């Protein structure tokens, strides 16, 4: 399909597909920025994609304000939880554990039944482990896993709650 006939989303997806499996660098950031510029600085999705490019390039300090801006501008229900998860992860990478926990715990309440609930739990667990509370992180991960188990729901839930106190 000729480039001019592809939608903006298709062109963004192509950039991410090209970046798949390799380290994201200046070229991918430039391509994302060029596509984002088509939509302007007040477009939440454009800011989200710019943040993701920087995040993927290992530049969380640049990604955090862009994620926050995208969230302020208002993302759809597909991209909003992704932005929150990625923001919390970037804050974790920067060592801002309390801020990361605030962000992810708020999202945990908002997306308790959403498609990203397990991803939220995984990032929550990572933040806790990085913050020196690995038993609490394991507890969060186990509780997220329980609904996927064929049996042992009651016992695994009890164990997960018990282990959370081991960091105290």
Predicted pLDDT at 2: 65
Q: Mean pLDDT across the stretch 63-92?
A: 97
CA dihedral 79→81→86→92, nearest 10 degrees, is 170
Instruction: Place 18 in a pLDDT band, splitting at 50, 70 and 90.
Output: confident
Encoded tokens for 122 = 């995984």
- Residues 155-167 have pLDDT tens digits of 999 999 999 988 8
Task: Report the CATH number of the 3-95 domain.
Answer: 1.25.40
Under DSSP, the state recorded for 146 is G
């Amino acid at each position: 399909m000729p480039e001019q006939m592809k939608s903006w989303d298709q062109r963004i997806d192509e950039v991410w597909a090209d970046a798949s499996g390799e380290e994201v660098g200046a070229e991918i950031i430039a391509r994302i920025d060029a596509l984002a510029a088509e939509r302007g600085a007040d477009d939440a999705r454009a800011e989200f994609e710019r943040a993701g490019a920087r995040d993927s390039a290992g530049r969380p300090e640049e990604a955090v304000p862009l994620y926050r801006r995208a969230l302020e501008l208002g993302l759809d229900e597909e991209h909003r939880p992704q932005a929150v998860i990625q923001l919390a992860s970037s804050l974790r990478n920067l060592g801002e554990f309390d801020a990361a926990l605030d962000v992810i715990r708020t999202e945990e309440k908002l997306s308790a039944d959403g498609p990203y609930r397990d991803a939220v739990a995984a990032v929550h667990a990572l933040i806790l482990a990085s913050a020196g509370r690995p038993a609490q992180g394991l507890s969060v991960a186990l509780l997220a896993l329980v609904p996927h188990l064929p049996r042992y729901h009651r016992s695994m839930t009890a164990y997960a709650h018990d282990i959370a106190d081991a960091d105290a």
